[in-house]
Amino acid sequence: MTAQDKIAGPGVATGLLPPDVLAANFADLHPPLSAHEAHVEADRCYFCYDAPCQKACPTGIDIPLFIRQIAADNPLGAAKTILDANIMGGMCARVCPTETLCQEACVREAAEGKPVQIGLLQRYATDAMMATGKNPYRRAAPTGKRIAIVGAGPAGLACAHALAERGHDVTIFEAREKSAGLNEYGIAAYKTPGDFAQREAAFILSIGGITVKHGVALGRDIDLQSLQRDYDAVFLGLGLAGVNKLGLANEATLANVVDAVEYIAKLRQAKDLSKLPVGRRVVVVGGGMTAIDVAVQSKRLGAELVTIVYRRGQEQMKASGYEQELAQTNGVLIRTWAKPVALEGEGAVRAVVFETTREEGGRLVGTGETFRLEADIVFTAIGQTLIPAAYGGALQGKDGRILVDEERRTSLEGVWGAATASMAGRI
């Protein structure tokens, strides 16, 4: 049963807003810069030596260089500078929290409170490259090596591109019907309209030497042993398909208690947003970007009252300050220092009971005081986890993550795993 199938009841409806309002609500959150605007913004850059913005970029893009190239009317050169460091620079320009990374580190932010709009400039350059319909990268001479990649999300696509560029033949196995993973299924629709995730995936795959097999899941259709046998190396870019539960007694039996990630995926794939069910009163449990995305989109679909409830303080929410402000300016109420302790309803959820919390000695504890929020839909957005069954439990792991070393090697010979520095070498 899908998230959409589970959502029904007297407080749930479709078509709460007319089509023209929905179209405006889900239009581009940050419209692209014109050529003139891009040149004006590029001229604001000081082109700092040892630039703090570049140090703050997780992918190490040479930001002063690409901005200088835009200023010199060379957007394609700027795009190449960006993509050399981050082949998914187009999507990152749209969804990266630049306000807490490169733009927060910008010298103009410190001096004036108005940083150079690095994210929009990056989008200007990468959009120019995408508009050419050409891939600036070429495959090296074939090496004869065959690599299997599990997952066509950002990690899998980036890995495939790097391997293909070096002349290896790559096969990607993807469980879903479309490539791009989180970029396609897990990001608020107003951040990446216009089917951009698929266009970027097609751009990456156009280097050649990469075959994508959709509808093929590890642990269901293929297994690690066969991949190890048939390929020279295996890369796991599985993503975190499992979701954490609230752990409340009737969570599994009440309708309208919905995984936020699943609902966002349905919204992203909906051809007609007016047919998507939405509650008039929505409660979101969680404090990360997913919580913000599902809350804001619920409001933009026509929900009357949307409340995010987080167990700690607002400054401890994983969602950036900008995202929190976006939620609040869209009419979302953020309540903090509370955890869910009970779900009320018969057949479908009607309310959530929360207990207020506080920190004692660095630990979160309940105070014994409770309050109740009526809800037609409760979205859970309290984190995702790896599903061990996907790889048969053959890999060493910890806390729902596959362990990898500094070279991203797993405990199995010839099997590598995706990881980021911020995750301390674990998927």
Grade residue 396 by pLDDT with cuts at 50, 70 and 90.
low
CB 298 within 8 A of CB 279: yes
In this structure, what is the dihedral angle of CA atoms 221, 416, 87, 123, given to the nearest 10 degrees?
80
Count of H-run helices and E-run strands, the chain: 17, 19
**pLDDT at residue 130 tops 70:** yes
The pLDDT of residue 423 = 26
CATH classification code of 146-239+395-423? 3.50.50.60
Average pLDDT for the chain: 92
**pLDDT at residue 4 tops 70:** no
Phi/psi at 63 (nearest 5 deg)?
-65, -45
Cα(375)–Cα(257) distance, integer angstroms? 10
pLDDT tens-digit readout, 31-66: 999 999 999 999 999 999 999 999 999 999 999 999
For the chain, the farthest-separated pair of C-alpha atoms sits apart, in whole angstroms, at: 68
* Overall CATH class of domain 3-27+243-382: alpha beta
Cα angle value 118/122/123 (rounded, 5°):
120
What average pLDDT does the segment 275-301 reach? 97
The pLDDT of residue 103 = 97
The pLDDT of residue 389 = 56
pLDDT tens-digit readout, 132-143: 999 999 999 999
Per DSSP (E only), the strands in 189-324 are: 210-214, 233-236, 242-243, 257-259, 278-279, 281-285, 305-309
CB 158 within 8 A of CB 87: yes
Tokens 């020279």 -> residue: 232
Q: How many residues in the chain? A: 427
Cα(288)–Cα(381) distance, integer angstroms? 7
pLDDT tens-digit readout, 315-359: 999 999 999 999 999 999 999 999 999 999 999 999 999 999 999
List beta partners, residue 13. Answer: 278
* Domain ranges (residues) in the chain: 3-27+243-382, 35-132, 146-239+395-423
CB 420 within 8 A of CB 238: no
Share of the chain above pLDDT 90, in %: 84
Query: Using the 8-state DSSP alphabet, how is residue 33 labeled?
Result: P
Tokens found for residue 148? 């299997």
CB 52 within 8 A of CB 105: yes
Cα(123)–Cα(90) distance, integer angstroms? 6
Amino acid at 317: M
CB 63 within 8 A of CB 86: no
pLDDT tens-digit readout, 191-223: 999 999 999 999 999 999 999 999 999 988 999
Tokens 């060493």 -> residue: 396
Grade residue 391 by pLDDT with cuts at 50, 70 and 90.
low
The yes/no answer on whether domain 35-132 falls in CATH 1.10.1060.10 is: yes
58: part of which helix (H) or strand (E)? none
**pLDDT at residue 421 tops 60:** no
The reply to whether 3-27+243-382 and 146-239+395-423 are identical in fold is yes
Q: Which of 93, 280, 323 is nearest to 200 (CA)?
A: 93
H helical segments located in 206-340: 224-230, 260-269, 289-301, 321-329
pLDDT tens-digit readout, 98-126: 999 999 999 999 999 999 999 999 999 99
CB 190 within 8 A of CB 299: no
Cα(24)–Cα(286) distance, integer angstroms? 27
Q: How many C-beta atoms surround the C-beta of residue 392 within 10 A?
A: 12
Amino acid at 146: R
Q: Which residues contact 90 (CB under 8 A, 6 or more apart)?
A: 123, 126, 127, 129, 130, 196, 200, 203
